[in-house]
Amino acid sequence: MGNLVVKNAKQLVTCAGTAPKRGLDLGSVQVIEDGAIIVQGGIVDMVGTTEAIEEKLAHGHWYEDPEEFTTIDASGQVVVPGFVDPHTHACFTGSRHHEVEMRLAGKKYLEILAAGGGILGTVAKVRDCEEGALAEETYNRLMLMLSLGTTTVEIKSGYGLDTETELKMLRAIANASAMAREQVTVVPTFMGAHAVPPEFKADRPGYVDRICREMLPRIAESELATFCDVFCEEQVFPADDARRILATASQLGLGIKIHADEIGECGALGVGLELKAASVDHLLVTGEDGIRHLADSDTCGVLLPGTAFCLREGHFAPGRRMIDAGCAVALATDCNPGSCYTESMPLMMAMACFGMGLTPAEALNAATLNAAYSIGVADRTGSLEEGKAGDLVLLDCPDYRHLVYHFGINQVGMVVKKGELVYVRN
């Protein structure tokens, strides 16, 4: 919980506003030229111009001890809120690079899964992996994310697919988070319904039963997960299965998310909206009706342009249409070993702009404040406003739009989490 002052930023972009931002509001980020910020005890105390901040510091007799403040000169840099990555499968072991060539040769993602590969390939490796090693790998990924400016990340289980391995994954996620010692905030999600495991190959209802009667009560009791998510596709878990699993999770006090309309439209979006999900994710093939219903709800649409890119479906989610229709949208990496292996939120922002037609301001809001909203933490992080966590990124670029414009490189110079300097580019 640090005490910190950042001054002289070429731009300080607050992303301030009421979450979730929608429509025209999503297009405004609030840029303060020659910006500065005071963080006290890990919490943002004031945001303004360097002049206004210096004025306050000079007369701020209420600050405990000015010596205890670290000062950073951000001359020539741009300050933005720490990125929030609200959809990842970053707890895994093993590589599936061979699937890249299979997909490039025309094999479909679900064909690979049906043949026992894909998600199930990673399940075999995670079941074999010792808990400590899994935590270590996950921690390493968190540190890579941090170096790319991400200060809050959601991580799903879902490569265990039996009670003990799912719990092992959730403990590994908790341990990775503890190892990160508050440098990154982790929001854990239980995703036992990620695929049907081999031992239930011929008995999907039996597995759904297992999830509802055994896994979910154990997971809820363990308090290791905040949300429950389901991969809802006709060929994986159809809408009725998803409804039953998510309704059970909701009764047990878990928040709800759903992988919807990633490959086909099977009613997943409707299930998410009906159960008041925090987010419906992917939405690659969502049509006009779905967009209208989403716009009328408090549910956030989490768009994963990296996955659309890697699955080579030939199009992205209708992000532009969604924003114009008034949907709350956020961006995420989907970081996973199969359909999208990247930790980079700035790359997702670039893809959102060039692939879906978002503006750089919309992409930044979608990767910060709205992303925080989609995992229930917008009251704490996602924008630089008084009372929120001092989570911020110093970018080595002259304008925040370079995040999108100059893509594929890392522009992160420093990262501050709760007022502590946690990453400096060497």
Q: Which does 244 bind (CB under 5 to 8 A by kind): Fe ion, ligand NIG, none?
A: none
Minimal distance in Å, beta carbon 86 to ligand NIG? 12
CA 137, CA 329: separation in Å to the nearest integer?
30
233 binds Fe ion (CB under 5 A): no
d(CA 272, CA 259): 9
Binding segment toward Fe ion, per CB under 5 A, in 163-171, 193-201, 333-341, 391-399: 333-341
Candidates 68-76, 334-342, 352-360, 380-388; binding stretch for Fe ion (CB under 5 A): 334-342
Shortest Å, Cβ 336 to ligand NIG: 4
Nearer to Fe ion, 129 or 258 (CB): 258
User: Which residue of 137, 154, 265, 334 would you call a contact of Fe ion, by CB under 5 A?
Assistant: 334
User: Phi/psi at 223 (nearest 5 deg)?
Assistant: 55, 30
- Which does residue 35 bind out of ligand NIG, Fe ion, none, counting CB within 5 to 8 angstroms by kind? none
Residue closer to ligand NIG (CB basis): 16 or 232? 232
Q: Which residues contact 126 (CB under 8 A, 6 or more apart)?
A: 92, 93, 94, 134, 159, 160, 165, 169
Residue 166 binds Fe ion, judged by CB under 5 A: no
Per-residue x/- track, 358-387, Fe ion (CB under 5 A): ------------------------------
Smallest gap from Cβ 132 to ligand NIG, in A, equals 22
Q: Minimal distance in Å, beta carbon 132 to Fe ion?
A: 25
Shortest distance, position 51 Cβ to ligand NIG, whole Å: 46
Instruction: Decide whether 283 or 328 has the Cβ nearer to ligand NIG.
Output: 283
Letters for 51-90 (x = contact with Fe ion by CB under 5 A, - = none) are ----------------------------------------
For binding to ligand NIG (CB under 6 A), which residues are involved? 89, 118-119, 122, 231, 259, 262, 307, 334, 336-339
> In the complex with ligand NIG, which residue's Cβ is closer, 88 or 150?
88
What is the distance between the alpha carbons of residues 201 and 219, in angstroms, rounded to a whole number?
23
Chain residues that interact with Fe ion, rule: CB under 5 A: 334
